[in-house]
Structure 1
Amino acid sequence: MSRAWRELAVLVVDEVRPIREVIANQLRSLGIDHVAMTEDGAEALRLLKRQPFDVVICDWNAPIRSGLDLLAKIRANQPLQTLPFIMVTAELDRGRIEKAISAGVSDLLVKPFTVDRLESALQTALASRGKHHGKTGQAGNSEAVMSVVKPATDTTSEVDDRLTILVVDDSPSIVKVFHQLFSQDYRVRFAGNGAKAVMICQTDSPPDLVLLDVMMPDMDGFEVATAMRQHPQSAHIPVIFVTAMDSAEASLKGRELGAVDYISKPVMPEQLLLRVKNFMEYVRLRKLVQGNYDTLLETYRLRETMEDIVHHDMKGPLLTMVGLLRDVVAADNLSWRQIEQVSSIEQTAWHLLDTVNLSSELYKIEAGRFNLAPQPVSVGAILRRMVEGARVTFHSKHLTITVETDMPMGMPAPQVSGDPTLCYSVFNNLLNNACEAASENSQVSVIVRAAETSVEITITNSGVVAPEIRDRFFEKYVTSGKPQGTGLGTYSARLLTEAQNGSISFEVSNACNTTTLRVALPLWMDDLAGQIGQPADKSVVCPAAVARSAIVLAGQTASLLS
């Protein structure tokens, strides 16, 4: 073992003390001496905040704070978020890996596991350090994906992948019977004494099951089982005692040593074969689950790398396109028709950029791994693009789309503290929803107000939200009256708003037959120091009764809030 491994500090979290000690012994057999142990997730989090660790190995069902909850807390904590985290589970629930992957797990281990499997998990976890949140550091080149694709292996040579049974008995006749009974379906190894059995169990290729006689010279079966449980390489191996000792005391002692079954001689071959077959099916299923976990984790990492590459390779060209289109629109030699067409192309480019960004950002927000780097965002500039695009997209509905502000004439619109990409996505979704829901020849009103510590944006359209979905309006996949609706627009708007420390709500006025979406985002600090304006009046007023200076997009390009 390398010096780097010897210097690792590992935290083991498991409610059951013997399991904690087995894992600690396995780690020590790998040369890792700095092992701390705790029985619950809450104490583990306190330890992590007090002292540095290189890896966490945690049971899914840790008390007080579960393994999944502990993982989510770690991924949401800036100093800890790249800490390798190995989840241990004894459950055969495929859905668990999907939850663990979403939370940013480094690797999964299915109990019981060998030292070799633990070593492999440690290697995987340490190699993926820093890749659980956002970019993996891949170069912006599609060929980079090849670095995570494993080359095809040569499968021409036959490999005996059958499960292995170790028969431990000093009787040649018993050995012969067991060989005839099991050799067709399993690899069968034999040990004529306890010392040899212990040696085989502690090799790098231990058996999957041990059939163990009790009455043997020098080292009896109970002593063999005790030695197996004391060594990390063999502690997990299941044992079935097959012995002439049929007393209740002997059976109880065998089970206290961790035996999964106790069969008395003389043995009925059919009964023994059935018991072994049933248990080996359980072992096979465990190995299959671990293999599926490994495959799904590898697939997830490949997908994450692909998304990073696509994000990098597409974002640059799209930003360039948007910049060029703005220059074209700013030119004074274009006809109105040309300006309209170029604006439509710009809107499409922004939509593509929004999709590229959301493919990774929304996923990280859902998983609790998004970290906001706040910057000043001009909501006016974003609303300008939104409204211009909406006018082109919904021109056939003959909507009157207005933008209003309570700021004095000539005063720039306030800036919010947030992320420009997320703000764009929020208002793009909400404005499109409003325009889709609005009846033809009606008005969609956008109002920007500066409050004491926030900026409030309201979007009002004719029509009301269906009563049956009002309580779930911001939940995932909730939609009504849209044959092609995904139910993700308001859901993503809520997540993106809350990720920027904002709030979102809606109001329905049956009297006015309107729906109003209300978004509040923190005011940027520079604007907070000298902002002008009073807290927003939240009384519900029908759009037709609003008397403000409005910028109306009818048949010409309008200069909106800047």
Structure 2
Amino acid sequence: MRRVIVNQLRQLGAEKILTAVDGKAALRILTSQHVDMVLSDWNMPVMSGLELLKTMREDSKLFTLPFIMITAEAERTHIEEAIACGVTSMILKPYSPSQLMVRVEKALAWKPGRAPGAKAATTAPKRLDKKPDDQSVAPQKPTILIVDDTTDNLVLLSGLLKTEYRVRLAQNGAKTVEICTSDDPPDLVLLDIMMPGMDGFEVAKHLREHPTSENIPVIFVTAMTSSDARLKGLDLGAVDFITKPVDPDALKHRVRNFMRYVQLRKNLQAEYDGMVEMAQLKEDVAHITRHDMKGPLAGVLGLLHALIEDDSVGRKQLEQLKLVEETALQVLNMINLSGELFKIETGRFELHAVPVPIADILRRIAEINRTAYAGKDIHISVDTDVPVGDEVPQSLGDAMLCYSLLPNILKSACEAAPDSSKITVKLYDQSPLRIVIENQGAVPADIRSRFFEKYSTSGKSGGTGFGNYSAKLLTEAQNGTITLAVSDENNTTAITLTLPRASSAV
């Protein structure tokens, strides 16, 4: 299979092609040499193609490599799993070189999460600027190869089928193998058994041993009627037997039945192509949307903060501005959770740390939550641990991540706290900075060990268990830590965060 694919890629213009026997061997190559694209079989020993794909998508250095999966796997759920793991393209066996060319060209043009307006890659092999046969012209009729050493039989069978199908003819086994392993293999083979030189059984054996022809349906057309001959043919992968003399109507019906299978396979390939393209389109749209929204939204928050701090703003207007700020923060939180968390999870996030007014953020989210949870009569206090007049410390991180991280924690505390209770938020001026958010109500014992795991939740109606997990990732992405402390004796829960402290000289 490797030799066949290498030959196909060379015919398409690829010059440097590296091969590996399994996913683990492929990883060794990927970590030691430059590679532009990966083509991998699904089923392999040691490490399967899907495992290789998952490993690559979790590696920040390999994440952007195009990945084409070559497989006979047709289970929709498995295809969906590959798409969810980030496969660039799928090729179902059997396939033609022109189909491979289409997918290689698209894969080389694919870049996950590219910046809006960025042009696609143009490093395709030399011949990939040609329009492939299966994309530039109307679909051809399905092809049937008729094999028989008797000319009269070839004329008879081709006459019965040529109005519905594209018919090719061969009078010996060697020619049959040549056609079936070529760049343009047939969709179905009608194969005589008794031929001089290489008989039909030998031909079938050769076809099943070659990756290009191994999945081509073969129907034996023969005068042999013994059960031994039938069993041998089935063992070699024949899908049916037609006995001579041929019944024309029966032949046409059987051929149509198997051509339906061929067409279903082609439809399946088209469907999976559409599924992959749709997933990539969604990713591109989501990336562009996040990119375009964050800048203006940050500007809105800055303006709102300035207006809220303006003493000339009336009380009623101030309350409205705070509601607008709360809504803007919720939108920003959704953007960060859908975009930055994905980058963090896949190892692609890059922190550009700047001083962040963490005390101001704590006070703002406390005020927002006082309003949001006024019905529970919860008292929220904020202590920055700094004497009046002294410089308030700042964290060194990403303000947008903090605007998502801290509201999540405080919101969870407010939801868990009983009515008419107290929540304390304290910022300790240390290096690193330490933030402790404590509320009454102890986290249930059954989820404490997995409190920061994804989808961990308990007794919360409509809860996804995503908030604490995202808080952990957003904290660690800023080189901080987050821990849980529960006191059953005092019936309290405390979340402690540490974040790098910005230098006073900054």
TM band (smaller chain): 0.7 to 0.9
Deviation at 1:520, TM superposition (A): 3.6
Q: Deviations over 1:290-317 (max 9, x none)?
A: 2222111111122122223322343333
Q: Deviations over 1:249-273 (max 9, x none)?
A: 98899789x6445848558869988
Asked if the contact 1:347–1:385 (Cα under 8 Å) also holds between the matched residues in 2, the reply is no
CA distance in 1, matches of 2:265, 2:395: 52
Matches within 5 A, 1:33-72: 33-72=15-54
Asked if the contact 1:214–1:220 (Cα under 8 Å) also holds between the matched residues in 2, the reply is yes
Instruction: Select which of 296, 310, 321 maps to 2:300.
Output: 321
CA distance in 2, matches of 1:63, 1:411: 64
- State the partner residue of 1:425: 404
Instruction: Select which of 143, 146, 156 maps to 1:167.
Output: 146
Asked if the contact 1:374–1:417 (Cα under 8 Å) also holds between the matched residues in 2, the reply is no
CA distance in 1, matches of 2:189, 2:210: 15
Q: Secondary structure at the match of 1:38?
A: coil
- State the partner residue of 1:401: 380
The reply on whether 1:438 has 2:417 as its aligned counterpart is: yes
Asked if the contact 1:138–1:305 (Cα under 8 Å) also holds between the matched residues in 2, the reply is no
CA distance in 1, matches of 2:272, 2:17: 26
- State the partner residue of 1:353: 332
- State the partner residue of 1:126: 108
Q: Secondary structure at the match of 2:311?
A: coil
Q: Secondary structure at the match of 2:427?
A: strand
Matches within 5 A, 1:154-553: 163-171=142-150, 174-175=153-154, 187=165, 189-194=167-172, 197=176, 201=180, 205-216=184-195, 221=200, 237-244=216-223, 259-261=237-239, 263=241, 265-266=243-244, 283-366=262-345, 368-378=346-356, 379-406=358-385, 412=391, 414-449=393-428, 454-467=432-445, 469-521=447-499, 523-524=500-501, 526=503
Asked if the contact 2:405–2:471 (Cα under 8 Å) also holds between the matched residues in 1, the reply is yes
CA distance in 2, matches of 1:359, 1:351: 12
Gaps of 5+ in 1: 1-18, 140-157, 531-562
Asked if the contact 1:343–1:389 (Cα under 8 Å) also holds between the matched residues in 2, the reply is yes
Alignment CA distance shift 1:223-1:289 (3 Å):
same
Asked if the contact 1:193–1:217 (Cα under 8 Å) also holds between the matched residues in 2, the reply is no
CA distance in 1, matches of 2:397, 2:454: 23
Asked if the contact 2:409–2:467 (Cα under 8 Å) also holds between the matched residues in 1, the reply is yes
Asked if the contact 2:23–2:44 (Cα under 8 Å) also holds between the matched residues in 1, the reply is yes
| TM-score (normalised: structure 2) | 0.80
| TM-score (normalised: structure 1) | 0.73
Bigger drift between 244-253 and 196-205 goes to 244-253
Q: Deviations over 1:301-354 (max 9, x none)?
A: 221222233223433332222222222223221233332321221221122122
Q: Secondary structure at the match of 2:291?
A: helix
Asked if the contact 1:458–1:516 (Cα under 8 Å) also holds between the matched residues in 2, the reply is yes
- State the partner residue of 1:541: none
Q: Secondary structure at the match of 2:65?
A: coil
Deviation at 1:218, TM superposition (A): 7.5
Asked if the contact 2:116–2:288 (Cα under 8 Å) also holds between the matched residues in 1, the reply is no
Aligned residues: 485
Q: Secondary structure at the match of 2:19?
A: strand
- State the partner residue of 2:86: 104
Asked if the contact 1:26–1:233 (Cα under 8 Å) also holds between the matched residues in 2, the reply is no
- State the partner residue of 2:74: 92
Deviation at 1:457, TM superposition (A): 2.4
- Which letter does structure 1 place at the counterpart of 2:374? H
Deviation at 1:99, TM superposition (A): 3.4
Q: Deviations over 1:431-466 (max 9, x none)?
A: 1111122222211111234666x4432221122334
Alignment CA distance shift 1:433-1:57 (3 Å):
same
Bigger drift between 115-124 and 86-95 goes to 86-95
CA distance in 2, matches of 1:356, 1:243: 66
Alignment CA distance shift 1:449-1:238 (3 Å):
farther
CA distance in 2, matches of 1:314, 1:511: 46
CA distance in 2, matches of 1:138, 1:513: 54
CA distance in 1, matches of 2:245, 2:478: 69
CA distance in 2, matches of 1:306, 1:241: 51
Report the aligned-residue RMSD. Answer: 4.0
- State the partner residue of 1:146: none
- State the partner residue of 1:74: 56
CA distance in 1, matches of 2:77, 2:347: 20
CA distance in 2, matches of 1:512, 1:525: 34
